[in-house]
Amino acid sequence: MDLVISQLDQKYQKFLNALDRKSFYDTFRSVYEYFDIIQSQIDLRKIIDAERQEIGDKKQVVNSDEKLTAKDKKETIKRIEDQSYSFGYNKINERIYLPMKNYKESLTLSPKESLTGRALAVKEKSKNTGEYLTDIFFSFVFGNIEPAKIFWTKFKYLCFTDNVAVYMEKLHSGLIKKKLELPVIEFKDGNADDRIKIVIDDNKGIYQEGKEEFTYMIERISKRMKLIKHLVSKDNCSLSELNRITKQDKVVTMKSIPEINELFKSKLDLSDDLILSVDTGGYSINKDVYAVTIRR
């Protein structure tokens, strides 16, 4: 069996077992680990992106059909989304994986600082119950707070996991089916480098070698350019190190990275992110796909 498929199966089985046991911790931790595998595999992300584009095209056709009423359009789009695994991926990614990932990366507690105390402080300072629940929830998921301190009711938990279970089932079956359809890659002998050649030029911006007409114009002295160049010079880099290099807040840094990726892909007409998140909580250049050169 393909190693990646085996890993996905293991995490999905862990998720199902956690649901059966109604284990709050293991349910969301297994989702987080499952999505970590997706983020580490380019072919899985391409599968999701392809289906997302297909679903987007179908919805556009429905919305442009003048013969359909607003109600018909809404029902048709819902049916399209219900049959899609990328729709469920987007929901879980936005509501569980990314918030958990960002929260994990934001943990800069001293050894004596209490996450329970932080959560209670959030409650005192904010009237937003959702924010309070989010803080205490993620504290628990990463093993820093006792179950007795959880302020998430059984009702909310069960309703939420029911939706996640449906999304995960469609996502897992869809990914496995498409992954099995992919051809087996045979690695070539020799030192040939088939990666896409990317040039970072202080004067011209960022472009693919031989295709300078597609250029991501970015200022040489901008903080984003500093961030990209620093990542190119290292295998991986922590969030705190990027904050120090760019002299900006961690929230700004975390927000800028997906924006850089979107601009990079759209301007250069490419499909893979330039910057990836790594298991250690930091970031790195996508060196499996891109060979990056800096020209001054």
pLDDT digits (tens, 9 = 90+) for 67-86: 889 999 999 998 888 888 88
Kindly list the domain boundaries of the chain, sorted by start residue: 3-181, 196-295
pLDDT at 118: 47
Whether 101 has a pLDDT exceeding 60, the answer reads yes
pLDDT tens track for 143-179: 444 443 444 434 344 445 557 888 888 899 888 888 8
Model-level pTM? Answer: 0.50
| Domain 196-295 CATH class label | mainly alpha
d(CA 234, CA 274): 14
Give the residue among 23, 163, 156 at the shortest CA–CA distance from 94: 163
Encode pLDDT of 181-208 as tens digits: 765 444 444 444 678 899 998 888 899 9
CA distance 232 to 55: 35
pLDDT for 252-285, tens place per residue?
888 889 899 999 998 898 888 899 887 666 888 9
Nearest to 242 by CA among 222, 258, 226: 226
Q: Residue 65 phi/psi, 5° resolution?
A: -80, 105
Indicate if the pLDDT at residue 139 is higher than 90.
Answer: no
pLDDT at 296: 66
